[in-house]
Chain A
Amino acid sequence: MARTAAILSALARALRRDQKSIASVVGNNFFVVTVLLLQEAGAFLYLILGLILLFPLSTDPLRKIPASRLSLWPLERRERWMLRAASPWVNPMTWLIAGGAVWVARGKVTAGLWGLCGGLIAACFVLSALPIAPRGGLWRRMPHFPGPLNHLIRKNLRGMLSTLDFYLALLLSVAALAYRASGRNLPAEALLPMTLLVVVALSSYAQCLFGLDGESGLERYRLLPVSGWQVLLAKDAAFLTLAVFLVLPLEPLAGFGAALVALAVGHYATVSHQREQVRWRFSAGAPLVEGLAQCALIAMAGSLVSHSVWVIGACVAAWAGSVWWYGRRWDGEAVS
């Protein structure tokens, strides 16, 4: 017990040092937007969304201890389980979200549902401790791209495919495709919102494009004889490849325009903050206000392109200008 308490105390100290400001309270655009759109949907939905939000928001504190060190410590099985169960609670965000969930769902959610949610959380934290590294066949079979940035784009594709954002967007896209394939017509007024939801599901990743590169990857970027705009171009090419693929069954052009704007806005947070991300989680992007601004502009761009194809030119111009501007900032910040 004393050993577990000592480790938890050290974890809490490390976590306190890591949460520098209110800006660390970040979220995932898709869940924030869904909560705003589904105000009448009921407490259970809030509860689920709140709990799912917990993962990108808090990340697993136990990850702060290197796995090799943790396995070397003379802890008994019981102590390891205690550590596993108690460690999320050293993060103040866990208390905040759990408290919020209880308050929202007071008296409306049955004990069984609470148990289900608790089980889901526990499963996610246990899963997060498993070493999942991209080694399989799919990761090797990335398409090749022309030019010197080929391997950087392929690497970025692999990175995006190891976030849950992609799979959430894929789920929406496949659902729309299946509906249309069944012979029924998706109402015209549903196509655009679905397209925008797909792009919004990916948009938090656009705010943390370097999140999976780690310190080592960032150092390599700075050593390569390439300009900042080329580094961002390689990131964006991967993002756009997947975004366009996912909006194909919906409104591809509106989706493309919205994805360009998601990147154009996301470059600011990408270059300025460089938030580290965890694989097989939802991306935790910029603070709430920035995230909402990004979503509003995505919706605006998608709608305008849907009404007039020529607006795509403005989206391309905004994106190109953003790549150039933040590429210069990247170059400047590389030597500081």
Chain B
Amino acid sequence: MITCRNLTRRFGEFTAVDGLSFHVEPGAICAFLGPNGAGKSTTVKMLTGLLAPTAGEVEVCGLDPRSKPIELKRRIGVLPEDLGLFDDLTVEEHLELTASVYGVDKRQAKDRIAQLLRVLSLEHGRRTFASACSHGMRKKTSFAMALLPNPSVLFLDEPFEAIDPVTSKTMRDLLQSAARHGITVFLTSHILPVAEEIATQLIMLRKGRIVWNSPASELPQALEQHYFDLVESPVVEEMEWLGQPRS
């Protein structure tokens, strides 16, 4: 469903993504992990057609994002890094906009919007403008927009950050259900326990390069430890000045 071959993106002298090659099967939940600046969001942008690769090939749903951008966008749902919301639209209007632009039948759209608002606990804030929403509400709105058109592939950039525990659980269940129905989920996250719980494939990135790519079942040890070993180990250093009287 998602295939990359030697995918590379440079910004001037800096290589953000360096020759990535991987494949994600239909119905898989692929967790794309790595520290800040590893190239995760840049990769998602290239997969969703928001950014052109400097080199390499991308195929999503059998389509090249560069040559068939509109066809591809009709088949994918995206929760982008900065959420992609308009300040001048309410939560409900964002969903109505998505339904009409993706050509969802009016009756279906009404039912889906009502269900998404209910399940994601957005009902009380449906008439709130995005500019007045909390970060969590904005993220849930963007997540609902990604699900609403019933896409073949979901790209979610850090979906669980800034989300309350109940909604996080709801979202995990929704994603697992979607995957069971054949929808491919490609998500980035820093919350390793969540990734470990739902992912069926794990890809770890370090300085723009893949350092691990396997089914989740083939992980040799706990994800967190494996991540620390392969990607980045935490810096443990005592800061003795903390708690000292201020001069």
Q: Could you list which residues of chain A lie within 8 angstroms of chain B, going by C-beta atoms?
A: 133-135, 139-140, 147-152, 154-156, 158-159, 162, 212-217, 219-220, 222-227, 331, 334-336
User: How far is A331 from B83 in the complex, measured between Cα atoms in Å?
Assistant: 21
Is B127's CB under 8 angstroms from A140's CB?
yes
Is A133's CB under 8 angstroms from B80's CB?
no
Taking CB as reference atom, which chain A residue is nearest B75?
A225
CB of B78, distance to nearest CB on chain A (Å): 5
User: How far is A224 from B48 in the complex, measured between Cα atoms in Å?
Assistant: 11
Given the known A-B contacts A151-B93, A152-B97, A154-B93, are A225 and B74 also in contact in the complex, defined by CB atoms under 8 Å?
yes
B212 within 8 A of A: no
Is B84's CB under 8 angstroms from A219's CB?
yes
B70 within 8 A of A: yes
Provide a sorted-by-A list of 7 A–B residue pairs whose CB atoms are within 8 angstroms. Answer: A134-B87, A148-B101, A151-B96, A222-B49, A223-B78, A223-B84, A225-B102
Give every chain A residue within 8 A of B84 (Cβ-Cβ): 216-217, 219-220, 223
Is A336's CB under 8 angstroms from B87's CB?
no
Give every chain A residue within 8 A of B89 (Cβ-Cβ): 151, 154-155
Contact of A133 among B78, B101, B131 (CB under 8 A): B131
B88 within 8 A of A: yes
Question: How many residues of B are counted as interface, with CB atoms below 8 angstroms from the partner's CB atoms?
Answer: 35
B1 within 8 A of A: no
Given the known A-B contacts A216-B82, A217-B85, A225-B70, are A151 and B97 also in contact in the complex, defined by CB atoms under 8 Å?
yes
Is A139's CB under 8 angstroms from B102's CB?
no
Q: Could you list which residues of chain B lie within 8 angstroms of chain A, going by C-beta atoms?
A: 48-52, 65-66, 69-71, 73-74, 78, 80, 82-90, 93-94, 96-97, 100-103, 127, 129, 131-132
Per CB-CB distance, the 6 closest pairs between chain A and chain B, nearest first, are A220-B84, A151-B97, A225-B73, A158-B88, A148-B100, A219-B84
Is A219's CB under 8 angstroms from B80's CB?
yes
Is B88's CB under 8 angstroms from A335's CB?
no
User: How far is A215 from B86 in the complex, measured between Cα atoms in Å?
Assistant: 10
CB of B155, distance to nearest CB on chain A (Å): 10
Is A215's CB under 8 angstroms from B82's CB?
yes
Is A224's CB under 8 angstroms from B85's CB?
no
Is A213's CB under 8 angstroms from B101's CB?
no
User: How far is A158 from B130 in the complex, measured between Cα atoms in Å?
Assistant: 13
Contact of A335 among B66, B74, B102, B103 (CB under 8 A): B66
User: How far is A226 from B49 in the complex, measured between Cα atoms in Å?
Assistant: 13
Is A134's CB under 8 angstroms from B131's CB?
yes
Given the known A-B contacts A151-B100, A224-B101, A225-B74, are A217 and B87 also in contact in the complex, defined by CB atoms under 8 Å?
yes
User: How far is A150 from B101 in the complex, measured between Cα atoms in Å?
Assistant: 9
Q: Can you add 7 more A-B contacts, CB < 8 Å, to A216-B84, A224-B73?
A: A135-B129, A139-B88, A148-B101, A331-B69, A334-B69, A335-B50, A335-B51
Given the known A-B contacts A135-B129, A140-B127, A335-B69, are A223 and B50 also in contact in the complex, defined by CB atoms under 8 Å?
yes
Give every chain B residue within 8 A of A155 (Cβ-Cβ): 86, 88-89, 93
Give every chain B residue within 8 A of A134 (Cβ-Cβ): 87-88, 129, 131
Residue among B52, B71, B82 with max Cβ neighbours from chain A (10 Å): B82
Is B80's CB under 8 angstroms from A159's CB?
no
User: How far is A133 from B132 in the complex, measured between Cα atoms in Å?
Assistant: 8
CB of A95, distance to nearest CB on chain B (Å): 32
Give every chain A residue within 8 A of B51 (Cβ-Cβ): 335-336
Give every chain B residue within 8 A of A162 (Cβ-Cβ): 88
User: How far is A150 from B94 in the complex, measured between Cα atoms in Å?
Assistant: 11
Residue among A214, A224, A336 with max Cβ neighbours from chain B (10 Å): A224
Give every chain A residue within 8 A of B101 (Cβ-Cβ): 148-149, 224-226
User: How far is A140 from B126 in the complex, measured between Cα atoms in Å?
Assistant: 12
Give every chain B residue within 8 A of A227 (Cβ-Cβ): 70
User: How far is A223 from B65 in the complex, measured between Cα atoms in Å?
Assistant: 11
CB of B23, distance to nearest CB on chain A (Å): 22
Is A148's CB under 8 angstroms from B66's CB?
no
Is A217's CB under 8 angstroms from B86's CB?
yes
User: How far is A334 from B69 in the complex, measured between Cα atoms in Å?
Assistant: 10
Give every chain A residue within 8 A of B94 (Cβ-Cβ): 151
Taking CB as reference atom, which chain B residue is nearest A159?
B88
Give every chain B residue within 8 A of A159 (Cβ-Cβ): 88
User: How far is A156 from B89 in the complex, measured between Cα atoms in Å?
Assistant: 10
Is B93's CB under 8 angstroms from A212's CB?
no
Give every chain B residue within 8 A of A336 (Cβ-Cβ): 51-52
Give every chain A residue within 8 A of B66 (Cβ-Cβ): 335
Give every chain B residue within 8 A of A213 (Cβ-Cβ): 86
User: How far is A147 from B101 in the complex, measured between Cα atoms in Å?
Assistant: 9
Residue among A135, A220, A222 with max Cβ neighbours from chain B (10 Å): A220
Give every chain B residue within 8 A of A154 (Cβ-Cβ): 89, 93
